[in-house]
Structure 1
Amino acid sequence: MCWRWLLSCKILRKISLGMRFYGGWLLCLSLLLVIFHIFSVVEFHPNSVIEGGPNKRNKKSDHLLLGPAAGQGLPNRLQCQGPGSKALNKTHLLTSPSASNVGDRIVFVTMFTIYNTSLDSHADSKSSNLVTVGNVSYTKTERSMAILNVFINFIQVTMPRSSVIILTDPESDLLLQRNKVTLYPIQGEYSREKLMLQRIRSYITFLNTRLKELAQNPRHTSHYIFTDSDIAVVDDLEHIFQKFPKFHMALTFRNNKEQPLNSGFIAVRGTPKSILRAKIFLQEVLEVYTSKYMSASRMLGDQLALAWVIKSDPNFDLRRFSKARAFLAEIGGASVLFLPCATYNWTPPEGAGQFRGMPLDVKVVHFKGSRKRLMLESWNFFSSASDISDMLCLILMSGRTKYDF
């Protein structure tokens, strides 16, 4: 430090000779104190930038860190106790389907594709690109397949009589052999930029095919639930078709002015009339999508188009979205059942204090966006605990930044 002090004095002395009109040595002394302070900071904290840098602060955890459960003390909300993930009140009692409805089947339909990875398989398998969940490390492609398998697992646990149909790109390298799971190739444009657009087209193609099959075999009745592949069905959904016998198709809604509808869950009754009405409705959504929302074709365009079709009906009352209760409405000739997202399309909270907990009657959990790790963690936990309610506590007590991929 001594040589730095002397050097500073010499420099400042020369500066002061030309600055006598500013106060001479008084200014020199002030500058000297500033330089001394800077040198002291560097001397005592040489690694401060490295230790507190963005790499460490932004490093994501490779396991779940549980925090307080939102909704504690609120009525009709899941109550959990910590540490751990123990439910104080139970949410579900899985019951066998009614024998009187043994002829009706529920078929889950999802669109899923993986992209050929032969050119970048080496890069994909690098340790820096691997994600570890539990005791398993996944490449990006393996992670997508693991999520699809967990999607199927939850359905087979909660609705064992149901089957799954996967709409996919004929050119995809999708290899999947699961009981009661069928791959259904449909030609189309499956680029990431237009994947949501292709999904609506695939739904329309699928419904059109079912109409033709019903014309040949009208007694073969199945109801269809179109969903994203990043959902977990945590309770039987057959009651939708029993409790609401008049609807043609069902959508899920939330109290959100710009995006009140979520396209990740669409139910269609399996009668010819209902399938036809649903097909015509989705064709209108597709037309609005391509004419108004192509700038959002990669994401949200389908939901914006859905909302436009609903809002454009002059008889529809938007205020009905403010209350989380199911209701029926006629939209363009189709009887549409609106189901609250809080029950049929519930999404884990994005941060502490931003959510009022999990409703006790939740049926579907949607692991949107970066919540995919939590979906895998939830299945691993359920596999070991075999308790739906405790697993839901695990989901409720996990904050978003703690389980991002």
Structure 2
Amino acid sequence: MRVCFGWRQFLLFVMLVFFLSHLLSVLELHHDPTSSHKTKSKKFNHLVFGPAAGEGLPNRLQCKGNKALNKACVSATSNISNGGDGVSFVTVFTVYNSTVGGTSSESTNVGKVSYNKVDRSMAILNTFINFIQLMMPQSDTIILTDPASSLPLKRNGVTVFPVQGEYSRDKLMLQRIRSYIAFLELKLKEQLRKPGKRINNIIFTDSDIAVVGDVGEIFSKYGDFDVALTFRNNKQQPLNSGFIAVRGTPDGILRGKIFLEEVLKVYRSKYMEASRMLGDQLAIASVVKLYTSLDAKAFGARQPFLEDINGASVLFLPCAVYNWTPPEGAGQFHGMPLDVKVVHFKGSRKRLMLESWNFLQSSSSNDLSDMLCLVLRSGRTKYDF
């Protein structure tokens, strides 16, 4: 009897310890149930720096603070012309507030400038144009927009082209593909009216990119492709839609149009639930997989390659060079390639795009590589954009 009574006391003691520890955990959770979430989602109104990724790795930008120890791309003072001639950068952009330059309770300070939501969107668009005109001065920029959207944008080398469609936030990615198709149809009609007229090569991009190298070289460097896409080592989303190039020939434009029409068809039939974002990337990947036997291994390499897709010659370019994303996303563990041509400030990195341009303009050396060190060292936290 004594033995049984002793075991009962022991079991009661164990149960009491378990109950008290569980109770303490619950009390701690109720005391601050979102503490871990707050830590992860906290936003800052300034850049937060860390060591530059890729230290010691070959063919990667090496930095000491914001000073580049080796040089990436080309200097912003070299005034690129090779490849810049005959390239049109085309983006889709609209505003959702008619009050531009007005006051707003949701303001953001970047340097000495305060922006409301619309103003900072316009600042990003202007910075997008600034990088293009600095790095590829012989190119032009075309803004496809909602006819109801009055863009306060008057700049040399920039054309605002209204395209009818549905530009709500939930349908913007879908409308972007439609607008690209409408633009290519316009170019085909121009060819019919004026046979033999020279058409620029076309690069469709997001408006939150910075061109930091000569991307026009792809049209002479990689053979007679019709369409170019950028790929990354990501099994779920191997292709990014933020950079799509189309060769400016009648055949190239026609095949580019047919390719995007196929993407739009797949988008509507399979990915409408992702129409706010990612739907276009999933649709592009679906079309590519439909006509090729490409697998994850093909997208894991860094070398460009060609594939025939529904009659179009499609060039696949590595995101690491033509669509590189700052730390907090792709590339953060391996640093920045020295031959990077496009930096994509996707998501919460918009502040970093404006800060980078301000840094470049204020730098006495006007050194693009130093600016890229600023980009490489930042981005390890969420910003307020």
TM-score bin (small chain): 0.7 to 0.9
Amino acid at match of 2:136: M
How big is each residue's C-alpha offset from its partner over 1:135-187, in whole Å with a ceiling of 9 and x where there is no partner?
Answer: 10100000100000000000000000010000000001212001100000000
Q: 1:277 to 1:56 in 2, by over 3 A?
A: closer
> What is the CA–CA distance in structure 2 between the aligned matches of 1:133 and 1:227, rounded to whole Å?
24
**Who is 1:97 aligned against?**
81
**Who is 1:29 aligned against?**
none
**Who is 1:291 aligned against?**
269
Mapped contact 1:77–1:357 kept (Cα < 8 A): yes
Matches within 5 A, 1:112-131: 112-117=93-98, 125-126=104-105, 129-131=106-108
Selected match of 1:79 from 37, 62, 65:
62
Amino acid at match of 1:180: G
**Who is 1:44 aligned against?**
none
> What is the CA–CA distance in structure 2 between the aligned matches of 1:60 and 1:314, rounded to whole Å?
42
> Is 1:389 the equivalent of 2:369?
yes
TM-score normalised by L of structure 2: 0.85
> Is 1:330 the equivalent of 2:313?
no
Q: Which runs of 5+ in 2 are unaligned?
A: 1-19, 21-30
**Who is 1:198 aligned against?**
175
Selected match of 1:62 from 23, 45, 49:
45
Residue aligned with 2:43, SS: coil
> What percentage of aligned pairs have identical amino acids?
65
Amino acid at match of 2:131: F
Mapped contact 1:277–1:334 kept (Cα < 8 A): yes
Mapped contact 1:69–1:396 kept (Cα < 8 A): yes
Q: 1:57 to 1:254 in 2, by over 3 A?
A: closer
> Is 1:234 the equivalent of 2:212?
yes
Please, which moves more after superposition, 71-80 or 214-223?
Answer: 214-223
Q: 1:86 to 1:246 in 2, by over 3 A?
A: same
* TM-aligned CA deviation for residue 352 of structure 1: 12
* TM-aligned CA deviation for residue 353 of structure 1: 9.9
**Who is 1:185 aligned against?**
162
> What is the CA–CA distance in structure 2 between the aligned matches of 1:303 and 1:56, rounded to whole Å?
30
Residue aligned with 1:238, SS: helix
Amino acid at match of 1:319: K
> Is 1:378 the equivalent of 2:356?
yes
User: Superposition RMSD on alpha carbons, in Å?
Assistant: 2.5
Mapped contact 1:63–1:134 kept (Cα < 8 A): no
Q: 1:265 to 1:189 in 2, by over 3 A?
A: same
Q: 1:60 to 1:317 in 2, by over 3 A?
A: closer
Residue aligned with 1:211, SS: helix
Matches within 5 A, 1:5-404: 60-82=43-65, 85-93=66-74, 94=78, 96-98=80-82, 105-117=86-98, 125-126=104-105, 129-217=106-194, 218-316=196-294, 318-350=296-328, 354-385=332-363, 386-401=366-381, 403-404=383-384
Q: Which runs of 5+ in 1 are unaligned?
A: 1-33, 35-47
Mapped contact 1:106–1:224 kept (Cα < 8 A): yes
Higher-Rg structure is 1
Mapped contact 1:201–1:286 kept (Cα < 8 A): yes
Number of positions where the alignment pairs a residue of Structure 1 with one of Structure 2: 349
* TM-aligned CA deviation for residue 315 of structure 1: 4.4
Amino acid at match of 1:66: F
Q: 1:377 to 1:96 in 2, by over 3 A?
A: closer
> What is the CA–CA distance in structure 1 between the aligned matches of 2:373 and 2:152, rounded to whole Å?
33
How big is each residue's C-alpha offset from its partner over 1:44-86, in whole Å with a ceiling of 9 and x where there is no partner?
Answer: xxxx98xx9998996533221221001000111100002xx00
Mapped contact 2:225–2:247 kept (Cα < 8 A): yes
* TM-aligned CA deviation for residue 216 of structure 1: 2.4
Q: 1:352 to 1:399 in 2, by over 3 A?
A: farther
